[in-house]
């Protein structure tokens, strides 16, 4: 039994007085693709952002490869905040891909991918760019290295964003609806890059409405509804019958989006 | 109007352009610090910056210049009037530029900062590598506007004895009795300078890295 890559226990997230996530217990297995599905507004992004510590959980614990992220419980069981340096070092194991790509517009594709190597890790410019180039090649964009984000299609921008995260050799990659800002004909190129990553054994957590991707690439599926995890299991269980009534209703709404082969 | 008179006005425009350019540059550096203070969570930084800005935006530049010109010798600093002029103009434009930059910093998309956080940038690195360049792009048109305002306001430094375009025109007008010709020529020179800045600004905007062409 290997240690889970990420382990979430009793996580609660409130924004002011509204509770957005309630009693989340979740283990993300290492080397596998875990998908987070659920209706819009169910808290998927918030949960993923808690895993990246872009949001601070109100209660509960998250550990990444056994190390506490952001907060730890002291001997008396009281939750304490960890120092910023500690948060940064745990976070360094995590790469994040956003729905809106979030590429830096004043840097070329190569600049976006090599920037953190240069600025944060103090790698020499030529070496950083060589390493960035390897990542761009991996996502099929070596011939776009000198292009600025404004000169790239949405699909290309998202692939650069994936390369940017990969350049720092993360152990875990988080994806928040990586294809939902894209025109339908551009989703394939991004999903293919993600498929390649999955084949390489990258630990991935993917929030997606691409049920087809979840069913074919996903190895663990979690269903979130109104801030609660209603179900976590293998894809075959998710799409098997009988299903949880809320999951059934959700799948009925989304199955026509390219997963009809599973019906 | 003779060619010689026109040449004198053009020569005086070197002062107009020089003082304006230096003041814009110094003002910009001060404005970065001021806007960082404005956006800081700490009152001890924010309050003095707010006070500075409301002072320099609330007092006429002419009064500021006269005040600084007389204040510096009073506190024992005997500097040439050009220095007093540059100090006055720099502080004044810093106040306006700080407000622009504050708006620019506030408009930097949150996601771009989060992306930098995720790859391990320190807050200072986020500021220098992400926030400043993006805020500058967003506020570049306002900066060009401010440069034009400063060019025109630089006519006020004539009160501390600097012979820039306006002062030269006044001198020439009273010695030649040709005020209409001379002030028309001065107006034309201002116009050409300001047009050039506006034009350069438009090219510059398109030349910024990653600009949408
Ligand atoms: N920063 C925030 N402040 C207040 N409420 C928020 C914030 N972010 C998300 N929410 C709320 O939390 C709920 C879950 O949002 P989200 O995690 O984005 O859902 P999903 O990604 O599943 O669509 C929504 O009701 C949303 O309005
Ligand atoms: Mg979402």
Ligand 1 pocket, residue A15 CB under 6 Å: yes
Determine, yes or no, domain membership for B191. yes
Are the beta carbons of B114 and A54 separated by less than 8 Å? yes
* B88 C-alpha to ligand 2 centroid (Å): 51
Check: complex ipTM more than 0.85: yes
Rounded distance between C-alpha atoms, residue B120 and residue B135, angstroms: 21
Determine, yes or no, domain membership for B49. yes
pLDDT confidence tier of residue A257, bands split at 50, 70 and 90: low
pLDDT for A212 equals 85
Rounded distance between C-alpha atoms, residue B18 and residue A212, angstroms: 65
- Domain total in chain B: 1
Closest CA to B98 of B56, B137, B134: B56
Residue B135 to chain A, least CA–CA distance (Å)? 11
Question: For A167, which residue in chain B has the nearest alpha carbon?
Answer: B119
Q: What confidence tens digit (pLDDT) does each residue in A73-104 have?
A: 888 878 888 888 888 899 999 999 999 999 99
Determine, yes or no, domain membership for B213. no
CB contact A203 to B (< 8 Å): no
**Distinct helix (H) and strand (E) counts, chain B:** 9, 0
Task: Identify the domain containing residue B89 by its residue range.
Answer: 3-207
pLDDT confidence tier of residue A72, bands split at 50, 70 and 90: confident
Q: What confidence tens digit (pLDDT) does each residue in A214-224 have?
A: 888 999 999 99
pLDDT confidence tier of residue A263, bands split at 50, 70 and 90: very low
Rounded distance between C-alpha atoms, residue A33 and residue A55, angstroms: 22
What integer best gives the mean pLDDT of chain B? 93
Which three-class secondary structure state does DSSP give residue B60?
A: coil
Ligand 1 pocket, residue A157 CB under 6 Å: no
pLDDT for A236 equals 85
Q: Which chain A residues are within 8 Å of B130, Cβ to Cβ?
A: 104
CA B68 to chain CA mean position, Å: 17
Which three-class secondary structure state does DSSP give residue A19?
A: strand
Residue A262 DSSP code = G
Determine, yes or no, domain membership for B212. no
Give me the helices (H) in B59-176, please. Answer: 61-74, 81-106, 110-118, 123-125, 132-153, 165-176
- What is this structure's pTM? 0.86
Rounded distance between C-alpha atoms, residue A96 and residue A204, angstroms: 10
Ramachandran sector of residue A16 (left: φ over 0; alpha: ψ -120 to 50; beta: rest): left
Q: What confidence tens digit (pLDDT) does each residue in B22-72 have?
A: 999 999 999 999 999 999 889 999 999 999 999 999 999 999 999 999 998
Among A90, A99, A105, the residue to mutate for chain B (most B Cβ within 10 A): A105
* Sign of torsion over alpha carbons A227, A229, A231, A232: positive
What CATH number should be reported for the domain holding residue B63?
1.10.3720.10
Q: Whose CA is nearest to atom 16 of ligand 1?
A: A43
Q: What confidence tens digit (pLDDT) does each residue in B134-184 have?
A: 998 999 999 999 999 999 999 999 998 899 999 999 999 999 999 999 999
Show Cβ contacts of residue A166 under 8 Å, excluding neighbours closer than 6 positions.
A95, A135, A138, A173, A197
Half-sphere exposure for B70 (CA within 13 Å, toward CB):
6
Q: What is the dihedral of CA B128, B134, B135, B137, to 10 degrees?
A: 130
Say if CB A224 and CB A230 are below 8 A apart.
yes
Q: What is the dihedral of CA B47, B51, B54, B58, to 10 degrees?
A: 160
């Amino acid at each position: 039994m290997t240690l889970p890559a990420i382990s979430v226990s009793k996580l609660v997230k409130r924004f002011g007085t509204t509770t957005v996530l309630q009693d989340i217990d979740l283990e993300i297995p290492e080397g596998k693709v875990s998908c987070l599905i659920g209706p819009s507004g169910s808290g998927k992004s918030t949960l993923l952002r808690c895993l990246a510590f872009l949001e601070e959980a109100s209660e509960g614990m998250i550990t990444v490869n056994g190390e506490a992220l952001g907060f730890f419980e002291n001997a008396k069981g009281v939750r304490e905040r960890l120092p910023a340096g500690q948060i940064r070092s745990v976070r360094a194991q995590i790469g994040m891909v956003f729905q809106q790509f979030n590429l830096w517009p004043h840097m070329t594709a190569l600049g976006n991918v090599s920037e953190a190597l240069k600025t944060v890790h103090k790698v020499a410019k030529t070496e950083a760019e060589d390493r960035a180039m390897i990542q761009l090649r991996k996502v099929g964009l070596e011939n776009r290295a000198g292009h600025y984000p404004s000169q790239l299609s949405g699909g290309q921008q998202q692939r650069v964003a994936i390369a940017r995260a990969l350049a720092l050799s993360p152990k875990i990659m988080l994806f928040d609806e990586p294809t939902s800002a894209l025109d339908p004909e551009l989703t394939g190129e991004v999903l293919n890059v993600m498929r390649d990553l999955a084949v390489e054994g990258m630990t991935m957590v993917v929030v997606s409405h691409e049920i087809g991707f979840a069913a074919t690439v996903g190895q663990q599926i979690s269903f979130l509804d109104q801030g609660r995890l209603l179900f976590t299991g293998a894809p075959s269980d998710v799409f098997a019958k009988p299903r949880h009534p809320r999951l059934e209703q959700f799948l009925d709404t989304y199955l026509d989006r390219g997963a009809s082969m599973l019906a | 109007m003779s060619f010689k008179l026109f040449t004198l006005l053009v020569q005086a425009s070197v002062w107009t352009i020089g003082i304006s350019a230096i003041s814009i540059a110094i003002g910009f550096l001060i404005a970065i610090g001021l806007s960082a203070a404005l956006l800081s969570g700490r009152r001890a930084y924010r309050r003095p910056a707010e006070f500075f800005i409301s002072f320099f935006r609330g007092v006429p530049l002419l009064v500021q210049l006269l005040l600084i010109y007389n204040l510096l010798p009073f506190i024992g600093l005997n500097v040439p009037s050009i220095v007093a002029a540059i100090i006055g103009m720099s502080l004044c434009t810093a106040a306006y530029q700080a407000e622009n930059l504050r708006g620019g910093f506030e408009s930097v998309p949150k996601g771009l900062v989060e992306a930098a956080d995720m790859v391990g940038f320190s807050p200072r690195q986020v500021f220098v590598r992400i926030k400043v360049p993006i805020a500058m792009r967003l506020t570049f048109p306002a900066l060009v506007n401010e440069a034009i305002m400063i060019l025109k306001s630089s006519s006020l430094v004539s009160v501390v004895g600097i012979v820039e375009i306006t002062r030269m025109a006044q001198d020439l007008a009273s010695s030649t009795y040709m005020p209409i010709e001379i002030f028309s020529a001065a107006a034309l020179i201002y116009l050409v300078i300001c047009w050039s800045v506006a034009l350069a600004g438009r090219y510059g905007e398109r030349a910024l890295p990653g600009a949408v062409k």
